[in-house]
Each structure stands twice: as C-alpha cells, then as structure tokens.
Structure 1
Amino acid sequence: MRIYISADMEGVTGLVDADDVQPGGRDYERGRLMMAEDVNAAVRGAITAGATDIVVNDAHGPMRNMLPEALHPAVRLIRGKPKHMGMLEGLTPEHDAVICVGYHSRAGALGVLSHSFMGHEIEDMWLDGRPVGEIGLAHATAAAIGVPVVALTGDDAACAEATAWDDSVATVAVKFARDRFAADLRPTAEARGAIQEAVGAALAAVPKVRAQASPAASTLAVRWQSASVPATLLGIPGVTATDSRTVQAQGELPALYRLFGVWMRVAASLTNQPPYC
C-alpha cells in the first residue's frame, strides 16, 4: 500500500499562533517538532494498516519545516520549494490514499490560524461556485488524480470543513478553536493516539479497486485583497476578471491547481503582507 501524506502546520497539535508556525517565531523550533510528531503518529497508523511506501510532503510555508531526522525512518520526505504542485507535490495515481495532517479552515472561518494559502491576501475562493480553501482544493485535486483523501487532522473547524466537503473522510480534531489565535488543546498523547488510530482505521477501509478519475473542466475563482494582483494576472492567457479584485480560470484539475500555484507566485512578487495580519 502506497500512502501520501500532505503535512501543513497550522492544524498541528498544540499550535495556535503565528510565532508557533513561522520561521523566526519564538516558538517555531518547538512547532516544527510538534509537526513532525503529528506526522509520525499518522505514519504509525499507516504502517499498522499495511503501508509499505510512505511519502510525506512538507506543505507549509517555506516547505522546509520538518527536520528529516525527526521523522519516522519509514518516511521519504519531499522538502523545499518551489514545487509545481505545492501542497500536493509528488502525488501520483500510483498512491492508494492521501492523508492530510495539520490542516486548517479556509479564509473567513473562525478556526485556528484560518486562511486560504496566502494569509489575508486571498479573501475568498470558489471551485465551481462552491466556497473552497486548502482542504477542498486538495481533496478535489487528489480526486482528479485518482487518489482518495481518507483522513484529515486539524482543529475542529478544519474537521467540520472536511466533513462538509466529503463526509467519508475520517477527521481528528486535535484542538478546538476559541478564536483565530486561541484553542482548547487536546492532551498531546491523546491527540496523537487518536491520529494513529483514525489513520489506521481509514486505510483499512480503502477499497482495493478504485474508480477511475474522470477529468472534467472546473472553474476556480479567487478574490484578492489587492486589486494589483488580479490586474497583473489578467496577463495570463485564460484568466478573466469578474470584478476589480476577482479573477477566474477554467480547466481540468490537477492542471488548474498548478495554474493557481503560478497565481500565488505572482501575488507573492507583488505584495509584502505577513501571513497572519
């Protein structure tokens, strides 16, 4: 069984603030170890379910948060950037399942460290008219590749978002949002035990024969905080504006996901906003 883990950081056990998840933050070094331990809990669950090949993609911020030596020895780590497929770099149809560790709710939700990809620079996103953030876009893109997302960990808002998108996804709430930078934390050992158990159970239920992905055109729309970003993005063929701050494009996933990554690189070159203003 080949397993793919996409690891974000905001939804990791115990972390609640920008200083926990940003390089240079006073608690970042602790945070990156906490991230590795949540991933290790998922890895242990995957191994108990029979996983023989496990790839972990460091999907947060600079994408070089986890120290290789802190990870379970069974893991192969994808680290650094740029990555053409960002949070899903390295996912192929040969994988049997995707596990999302440490994910967070989308921009505008009252979840711990909630945002959509770029702090407050992205105000809203829609996939085929449906509000979407990192959870929904990862799920839809993985499905287009032909691999199911079977489990997700994060705060309770992230888990609710995943369930609303697909109620077959097993979720583990490692903390409960009190506000955007505050949470009621599950005890660390309890949270990691729950991750291991849920991942093992979810993978045990993965069908041996999966339905083939059926590519279909989708529309991705993004509303930006700054009008300068969409004005520049209109120079990309196929990008159209719906208003002065919103652009959209049509295409098949995962190509549309990769195009969105280009949009973010353009936006990063035009803005200098810290992620959690």
Structure 2
Amino acid sequence: MRIYISADMEGITGLVDAADVQPDGRDYERGRLMMAEDVNAAVRGAVAAGATDILVNDAHGPMRNIPPEALDPRARMVRGRPKPMGMLEGLTAEHDAMVCVGYHSRAGVLGVLSHSFMGHEIEDIWLDGRPVGEIGFAHATAAWLGVPVVALTGDDAACAEMSAWAGGVRTVAVKQARDRFAAELRPPAEARRDIEETVATGLSAVPKARAATAGSATLAVRWQSASVAAVLLGIPGVTATDSRTVRAQGELPALYRQFGVWTRVASSLANQRPYC
C-alpha cells in the first residue's frame, strides 16, 4: 500500500502563532520538531495499517521545515522549493490514499493561523463556485486522481472545514481555536496517539477500486491587490470577473499547478509576509 502525506504546519499540535511557524520566529525550531512528531504519528498509523511505501511532502512555507533526521526512517520526504505541485508535489494516481497533517482553515474563518496559501493577499478562492481553501483544493485534486483523502489533522476549524467539504474523511482536532493566534491545546502525547489511531483506522477502510474525477473545473481567486489580478491577465486562459478577481478553467491537477504560478506572481508583486 502506497501512502502520501502532505504536511502543513499551522495545524500542528501546540503551535498557535507566526513565531511558531516562520523560520525567523523565536519558537520556530521547536515548531519544526513538533511538526515532525505529528507526521511521525501519521507514519506509524500508516505502517500499522500495512503501508509499504510512504512519501511525506513538507508543504509549509519554505518547505524545509521537518529536519530529515527527525523523520521516521520508514518514510521518504520531498523537501525544498520550488515544486511544480507545491503542497501536493509527488502525489500520483498510484498512491492508494492521502493523509493531510497540520492543515488549517481558509481565509476569513476564525481558525488558528487561518489563511489561504498567501497570508492576507488572497481574500477568497472558489472552485466550481464553492468557497475553498487549502483543504478543499487539495481534496479535489486528489479526488481527480482517484486518490482518497482518509484523514486530516489540524485545529477544530480545519476539521470542520474538511467535514463540510467531504464528510467521509476522518479528522483529528489537536487544538481548539480561541482566536486566530490562540487555542486550547491537547496534550501532545494524547493528540499524537489519536493521529496514529485515526490514520490506521482510515487506511484500513480504503476502497479497493476508486474512480478518478473526469472533466474540467473552474477556479476563481479574489486578491487583496488589483495589481496582482491585472498582471495575471497576461497568462493565456486567465480572465477577470472584476478588478481583483481572476478565473481560469482546466482539469485538475493542471489547474492546481497553474494556481501555484499565480501565487508566485503575486508574491513577486506584493512581497507580503503571512499573518501580518
């Protein structure tokens, strides 16, 4: 059984602030180890369920967060950037299941460190007219490939977002959001035990035969800056719905990859740090 793990950082056990998840933050080094331990719990669960090949994608920020020596040696890791598929680099139709570790809620939701890919530069995203963030976009892309998402970990807001997007995904709330930079934390050992057990249970119920999603999708993004939208109109196939909102159509995961180009263009123009 081949398992893919996409690991973000904002939804990791114990982390609540930008200083926990940004490389120059005073608690970032501790945050890196906390991230590794949540991912290792998911790896243990996958192994318990019979996984023979586990690929972890370090999907947060610089994508060099998990110290290689801290990762369970039964897993391989994709590390660094740029990556053509960003948070989903390495995911293929040959994977039997996907697990999302440390994910967070989308922009505008009162969840811990909530945002959509780019701090506050992205105000809203819609996929086929449905509001979406990193959780739904990842799930939809995996579904297009025929890979089921079997588990997600994060705060309670992230878990609620996953359940609303796709009700069959098991979730583990490692903390309860009190505000955007505050949470009630679960004891790390308890949270990681829950992650391990939930991943193992989810993988034991993976269907033998899975169907990929056919057809194209429509992606729309509303930016904080009209200048970002204006520049993106230079990309073939990108159209405007208003001065700050652009849209494009295509098949997933190609549309997911194109969105990565949009965010790189936006980063070069806005140069804004997340969570400010």
Structure 2 counterpart SS, 1:3:
strand
Q: Aligned partner of 1:202: which letter? A: G
Per-residue Cα deviation, 1:50-76 (whole angstroms, up to 9, x for no partner): 000000000000000001100101010
Which residue does 1:122 correspond to in 2? 122
Q: Is the 1:144–1:253 contact (alpha carbons within 8 Å) kept by the matching residues of 2?
A: yes
Which residue does 1:31 correspond to in 2? 31
Which residue does 1:241 correspond to in 2? 240
The CA distance in 2 between the partners of 1:63 and 1:214, in whole Å, is 28
The CA distance in 1 between the partners of 2:215 and 2:148, in whole Å, is 17
Tell me how large the CA RMSD over aligned residues is. 0.5
Q: Aligned partner of 1:139: which letter? A: H
Q: Aligned partner of 2:270: which letter? A: T
> What pairs up with 1:26-65 in 2 under 5 angstroms?
26-65=26-65
Q: CA deviation at 1:272?
A: 1.4
The CA distance in 2 between the partners of 1:274 and 1:268, in whole Å, is 9
Q: CA deviation at 1:14?
A: 0.1
Which residue does 1:270 correspond to in 2? 269
Which residue does 1:84 correspond to in 2? 84
Q: TM-score, normalised by structure 2?
A: 0.99
Q: Is the 1:2–1:94 contact (alpha carbons within 8 Å) kept by the matching residues of 2?
A: yes
Structure 1 residues 229-238 or 265-274, which shifts more? 265-274
Q: CA deviation at 1:215?
A: 2.2
Which residue does 1:228 correspond to in 2? 227
Q: Is the 1:174–1:191 contact (alpha carbons within 8 Å) kept by the matching residues of 2?
A: yes
> What pairs up with 1:177-256 in 2 under 5 angstroms?
177-211=177-211, 213-256=212-255
Per-residue Cα deviation, 1:214-261 (whole angstroms, up to 9, x for no partner): 321110000000111000000000000011100000111000000000
Structure 1 counterpart SS, 2:271:
coil
Q: Aligned partner of 2:50: which letter? A: G
Tell me, yes or no, if structure 1 residue 159 matches structure 2 residue 172: no
Structure 1 counterpart SS, 2:77:
strand
Q: TM-score, normalised by structure 1?
A: 0.99
Q: Aligned partner of 1:92: which letter? A: T
The CA distance in 2 between the partners of 1:217 and 1:229, in whole Å, is 24
Tell me, yes or no, if structure 1 residue 175 matches structure 2 residue 175: yes
Q: Aligned partner of 2:215: which letter? A: A
Q: Aligned partner of 2:246: which letter? A: V
The CA distance in 2 between the partners of 1:175 and 1:119, in whole Å, is 21
Structure 2 counterpart SS, 1:138:
helix
Q: Is the 1:93–1:146 contact (alpha carbons within 8 Å) kept by the matching residues of 2?
A: yes
Structure 2 counterpart SS, 1:183:
strand
Per-residue Cα deviation, 1:16-73 (whole angstroms, up to 9, x for no partner): 0000000010000000000000000000000000000000000000000001100101
The CA distance in 1 between the partners of 2:184 and 2:243, in whole Å, is 39
The CA distance in 1 between the partners of 2:89 and 2:161, in whole Å, is 22
The CA distance in 2 between the partners of 1:31 and 1:207, in whole Å, is 35
Q: Aligned partner of 1:57: which letter? A: N
Structure 2 counterpart SS, 1:163:
helix
The CA distance in 1 between the partners of 2:213 and 2:255, in whole Å, is 15
The CA distance in 1 between the partners of 2:36 and 2:213, in whole Å, is 34
The CA distance in 2 between the partners of 1:177 and 1:214, in whole Å, is 34
Large movers: runs of 4+ above 6 Å: none
Structure 1 residue runs without a partner (length 5+) = none
Tell me, yes or no, if structure 1 residue 66 matches structure 2 residue 32: no
Structure 2 residue runs without a partner (length 5+) = none
Structure 2 counterpart SS, 1:111:
coil
Q: Is the 1:215–1:253 contact (alpha carbons within 8 Å) kept by the matching residues of 2?
A: no
The CA distance in 2 between the partners of 1:129 and 1:259, in whole Å, is 18
